[in-house]
Amino acid sequence: MNSIKFMDFCAGIGGGRIGLENLGMTCLGFSEIDKNAEITYKHFFGKNEVNYGDLMKINPHNLPDFDFMIGGFPCQAFSIIGTRCGLKDEERGQVIYGLVKILKAKNVKYFILENVKGLISHDKGNTLKTILELLDNAGYKVYYKNLNSLNFGVPQMRERIYFIGIQKKLIDDNFKYKFPNVYSGDNKFLEDCLIDDEKLTFDDRLSSYQTFLKYLDNKYNKDKYTINDLLSKEYTIIDIRQSDLRIYYEKTPTLRRGRHGILYVKNGKFKKLSGYEALLLQNFPKKYANKVKDKISNFKLLQQAGNAMTSTVIEEISKNLMKSVGVT
């Protein structure tokens, strides 16, 4: 697949890019408007990487020719925890139209687009129908499926909808694409990811710990948990929500931009999930995570990892796509 060139749109910090580069594809540039994400992206991939900026303002003819588009178009407009305005959201929901404009202008052969699973049911399915019609009219055979990162080599529950598209002129009427169900590589476990031992211990020396004790005693959690019970099992994951506390074993809840209240138990103590660990939970290799450790703030890394694509899902989807069209 070394001959395949791609561009990374709504790139975030490059989770999708890693998935494609793992297959030998070559990135020609990226598009990202979040300046903090751009800084992290360039720490990962090099300061000379070209950011083409706001894709809604890009003149497609100023882009290099490329074969494959990867894009995690903004999800807040379709998310249960977002605005749910969908395609009426001028700032974010309309980005799909900008992506389609580039697909057509650059005669792109293949694409993968990612969004939150809420897109499937948004506006009683009308938003999804509109997007599929838009892509179909642009000349693409499109398949979509909701996949969970938990089945793709990482211990994180993360459901997302993935669209793959192939130019109709490249395939015949009998063409079929089948989404993968699992990752063909090695699985990561919590103990492979929760390894940031340098800081973020959570104990009674912190005022936030006292707040946590009061939280355990609120009307939703009172008499349900004791500190000793919570500390009794290694790698217990504790998700501190607005009201009720949730416990997980052998997996974490979905990492999100605004969710920073995840604790876990290690060596009989509470630890806060760090941004470095969040990157590993999204299957960013350590060689990338190490480049930003102590250079990008923990808060920003948690946000950015929460917005990122899981690289293993993109890798597996892309591998199936390339096999289905005979590219090796």
How far, in Å, CA of 124 to CA of 166, rounded? Answer: 26
Parallel/antiparallel/unpaired status of strands 269-272 and 236-240? unpaired
Catalytic residue among 27, 75, 85, 193: 75
The token pair that represents 99 in the structure block = 């992506």
CB within 8 Å of 238: residues ≥ 6 apart: 230, 245, 246, 247, 262, 263, 264, 265, 270
**C-alpha closest to that of 140 among 113, 177, 99, 111:** 111
The CA angle 61-63-285, to the nearest 5 degrees, is 160
β-pairing verdict for 68-71 and 26-31: unpaired
Per-position DSSP letters for 204-241, written without gaps between them? TTSHHHHHHHHHHTSTTTTTT--HHHHTTSTTEEEEE-
Long-range Cβ contact pairs of 20-23 (< 8 A, separation 24 or more): 20/68, 20/70, 20/314, 20/315, 20/318, 22/311, 22/315, 23/315, 23/318, 23/319, 23/322
CA 273 – CA 298 distance, rounded (Å): 10
* Burial class (CB within 10 angstroms; exposed 0-12, middle 13-18, buried 19+) of 43: middle
Helices (H), the chain: 15-21, 35-45, 95-105, 118-121, 126-137, 190-193, 207-216, 227-230, 275-281, 286-292, 298-307, 311-324
85 is catalytic: no
Q: What tokens does 50 get?
A: 């070209």
Distance CA(303)–CA(260), nearest Å, equals: 8
Residues involved in catalysis: 75
